[in-house]
């Protein structure tokens, strides 16, 4: 479906303006009055909450609300405010589906900061969390998984860091790509937030020269793309991509998304031009084409548009033209356990073979020969093992190896192999997708951590904050040249074997089209 062209004109100009804004950053003015709960940002003072040795400031606008004519436009700078803004509550989540209902508001571009108080004499490293959710769900508040884990900085900030979470536009509102809409609006939001940090994080006690990004699932995948985005260059200095690179740092092309999800959204809304799309309500746009989780094609995300992402991130990395920095990359041992279950039953070997052939196409028979159902307790177990190996563990290895070949900064690999023993459901599932969340953010609900849980938590927090602080860690050898990885358990070990048969997976064409 071809769209009638309407001049929206702005992507290149906006990127140039963002770059100029970044190059002329000035430190925020000091706050008058000495109130320890008030921080003066470049846009105005904001009052947070003093919470057990931390200052928590929530719901700070980092960009103007993308509402009305600003829908499907690059983010504009937040307007200054007069008086002291209330920063004791989270802002709106960005619009998304919660069951059959649409929740959130398009006025959602806010950031949350947790910082130790009293502020130390020297600025602290900044740890910024990028949420997962397939680029169509969740927020800087939390994901609602594992009994409602919240993305709270009260666990990481006391370790000597300033912790940051934030929202960015999701789904069709953040990534819709048509003949006249360039997409990547959610990615531009992420860059705008990082620019906000450069202007303001010093006022919270953070070091703008030590900004470490870590993200799970789609959040980690976004980080790989941002390492190659010209407008993001110099805004961050280290990353951790967790359970997040099933595409091996490759993203959709604009043509893919125009012909796929862009056309499907337009058809669902009965639109043939941009004016029609803009006339639709928030709920209509969100419901037009819900996003997908698990072993399904990705409908929303960054795309190679020639501007925000001039070319495939993996191609940029291969020639060493990305932003060089310390990198952590890894995943859990049973990543796809809940995805395989949600995709439907795999009752027998015949159903297993059909599922593998559908997923891997021409390579299906080779995958079946390497992962015969008879070698596993059940066909479902075989499917979990091969998809975890092929789509997560070996793609993490591939990305780590590619990065290490072209940069001097260390690249670390890990494999998380611990389960929450005091949660019957999670104990049965094992080390699944995003299981590391409570180890970084605290235990949900009434969960009582075991001694082993606490040992794993200390390991993760110390290693991640160490890399954020120092750019390296002596407690964990770099992945290459020895092809080593950290086995994350209560009794961790550094290993160099290949339990996931990555040499085989290096020869397989991955599925993961963007539709």
pLDDT of residue 292: 63
Reported as a single tens digit per residue, the pLDDT across 92-143 is 999 999 888 999 999 999 999 999 999 899 999 999 999 988 898 889 887 6
- Residue 84 tokens read as 């002291």
Domain containing 226 equals 31-350+379-515
Q: Does pTM top 0.85 for this prediction?
A: yes
Reported as a single tens digit per residue, the pLDDT across 382-430 is 999 999 999 899 999 999 999 999 999 999 999 999 999 898 888 888 8
pLDDT of residue 99: 86
pLDDT of residue 148: 59
pLDDT of residue 19: 42
DSSP H or E segment with residue 268: helix 263-269
pLDDT of residue 253: 93
Residue 491 inside a domain? The answer is yes
Reported as a single tens digit per residue, the pLDDT across 103-112 is 999 999 999 9
CATH number at residue 223: 3.40.50.1820
Rounded Cα gap, residues 142 and 464, in angstroms: 20
Residue 484 has pLDDT above 70, yes or no: yes
Higher pLDDT, 340 or 177: 177
Helix and strand counts by DSSP (H, E) for the chain: 18, 18
Distances (CA, A) of 185 to 94, 308, 332, 399, 400: 13, 10, 30, 25, 28
Residue 4 inside a domain? The answer is no
Half-sphere exposure of 375 (CA within 13 A, CB side): 11
The gap between the terminal CA atoms of the chain, to the nearest Å, is 15
Q: Which residue matches tokens 């200095």?
A: 237
Rounded Cα gap, residues 456 and 431, in angstroms: 12
pLDDT of residue 294: 59
Rounded Cα gap, residues 217 and 211, in angstroms: 20
Residue percentage of the chain with pLDDT more than 90: 72
Reported as a single tens digit per residue, the pLDDT across 2-56 is 444 333 333 443 443 444 344 344 444 456 667 899 999 999 999 999 999 999 9
pLDDT of residue 183: 97
- Residue 31 tokens read as 């706050």
Residue 334 inside a domain? The answer is yes
Q: Which of 3-7, 56-60, 316-320, 510-514 is predicted with the least confidence, judged by mean pLDDT? A: 3-7
pLDDT of residue 23: 38
pLDDT of residue 402: 95
Mean pLDDT of the chain: 89
pLDDT of residue 342: 57
Reported as a single tens digit per residue, the pLDDT across 285-301 is 999 988 766 556 678 99
Rounded Cα gap, residues 268 and 291, in angstroms: 14
Rounded Cα gap, residues 40 and 193, in angstroms: 17
pLDDT of residue 500: 82
Query: Coil, strand, or helix at residue 261?
Result: helix
Where residue 274 falls among pLDDT bands split at 50, 70, 90?
very high
Reported as a single tens digit per residue, the pLDDT across 140-189 is 887 654 445 789 899 999 999 999 999 999 999 999 999 999 999 999 99
Residue 2 inside a domain? The answer is no
Residue 372 inside a domain? The answer is no
Query: Coil, strand, or helix at residue 329?
Result: strand
Q: What is the mean pLDDT of residues 434-439?
A: 90
Rounded Cα gap, residues 417 and 456, in angstroms: 10
DSSP H or E segment with residue 461: helix 451-470
- Residue 349 tokens read as 């070997």
CA-wise closest residue to 108 among 186, 163, 51: 186
Residue 392 inside a domain? The answer is yes
Residue 13 inside a domain? The answer is no
Residues whose CB is less than 8 angstroms from the CB of residue 451 and which lie 6 or more positions away in sequence, other chains included? 490
Q: Which residue matches tokens 């594992």?
A: 146
Query: How do beta strands 303-304 and 252-253 pair?
Result: parallel
Residue 366 inside a domain? The answer is no
Distances (CA, A) of 495 to 31, 389, 435: 50, 16, 21
| Cα dihedral 332, 333, 337, 338 in deg (nearest 10) | -10
Reported as a single tens digit per residue, the pLDDT across 191-225 is 999 999 999 999 999 999 999 999 999 999 999 99
Task: Work out how many domains the chain is built from and give that number.
Answer: 1
Q: What is the mean pLDDT of residues 264-276?
A: 96
């Amino acid at each position: 479906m071809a769209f009638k062209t309407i001049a929206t004109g702005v992507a290149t100009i906006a990127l140039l303006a963002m770059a100029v804004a970044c190059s002329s950053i000035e430190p925020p003015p000091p706050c008058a009055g000495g109130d320890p709960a008030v921080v003066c940002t470049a846009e105005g003072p904001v009052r947070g909450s003093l919470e057990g040795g931390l200052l928590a400031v929530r719901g700070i606008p980092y960009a103007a609300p993308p509402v009305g004519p600003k829908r499907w436009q690059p983010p504009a700078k937040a307007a200054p405010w007069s008086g002291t803004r209330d920063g004791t509550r989270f802002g709106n989540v960005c619009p998304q589906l919660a069951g059959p209902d649409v929740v959130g508001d398009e006025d959602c571009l806010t950031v949350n900061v947790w910082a130790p108080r009293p502020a130390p004499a020297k600025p602290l490293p900044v740890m910024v969390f990028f949420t997962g959710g397939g680029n169509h769900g969740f927020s800087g508040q939390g994901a609602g998984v594992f009994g409602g884990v919240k993305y709270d900085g009260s666990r990481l900030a006391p370790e000597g860091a300033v912790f940051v979470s934030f929202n960015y536009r999701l789904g069709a509102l953040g990534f819709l790509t048509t003949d006249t809409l360039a997409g990547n609006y959610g990615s531009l939001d992420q860059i705008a937030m990082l620019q906000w940090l450069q202007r303001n994080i010093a006022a919270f006690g953070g070091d703008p020269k030590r900004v470490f990004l870590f993200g799970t699932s789609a959040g980690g995948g976004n980080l790989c793309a941002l390492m190659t985005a010209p407008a993001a260059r110099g805004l961050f200095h280290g990353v951790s991509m967790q359970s997040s690179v099933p595409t091996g740092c490759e993203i959709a092309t604009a043509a893919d998304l125009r012909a796929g999800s862009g056309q499907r959204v337009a058809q669902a809304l009965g639109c043939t031009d941009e004016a029609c799309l803009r006339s639709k309500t928030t709920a209509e746009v969100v419901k037009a084409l819900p996003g997908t989780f698990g072993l399904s094609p990705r409908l929303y995300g960054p795309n190679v548009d020639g501007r925000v992402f001039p070319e495939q991130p993996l191609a940029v990395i291969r020639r060493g033209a990305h932003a060089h920095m310390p990198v952590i990359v890894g995943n859990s041992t049973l990543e796809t356990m809940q995805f395989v279950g949600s995709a439907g039953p795999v009752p027998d070997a015949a159903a297993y073979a059909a599922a593998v052939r559908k997923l891997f196409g021409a390579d299906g028979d080779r995958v079946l020969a390497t992962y015969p159902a008879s070698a596993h307790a059940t066909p479902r177990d075989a499917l979990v093992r091969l998809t975890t190996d092929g789509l997560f563990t070996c793609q993490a290895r591939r990305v780590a190896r590619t990065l290490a070949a072209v940069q001097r900064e260390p690249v670390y690999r890990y494999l998380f192999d611990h389960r929450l023993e005091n949660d019957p459901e999670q104990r049965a599932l094992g080390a699944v997708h995003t299981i590391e969340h409570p180890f970084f953010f605290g235990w949900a609900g009434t969960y009582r951590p075991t001694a082993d849980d606490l040992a794993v938590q200390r390991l993760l927090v110390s290693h991640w904050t160490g890399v954020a602080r120092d750019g390296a860690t002596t407690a964990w050898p770099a992945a290459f040249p020895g092809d080593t990885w950290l086995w994350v358990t209560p009794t961790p070990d550094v290993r160099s074997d290949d339990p996931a048969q990555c040499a085989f997976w290096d020869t397989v064409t991955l599925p993961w089209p963007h539709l």
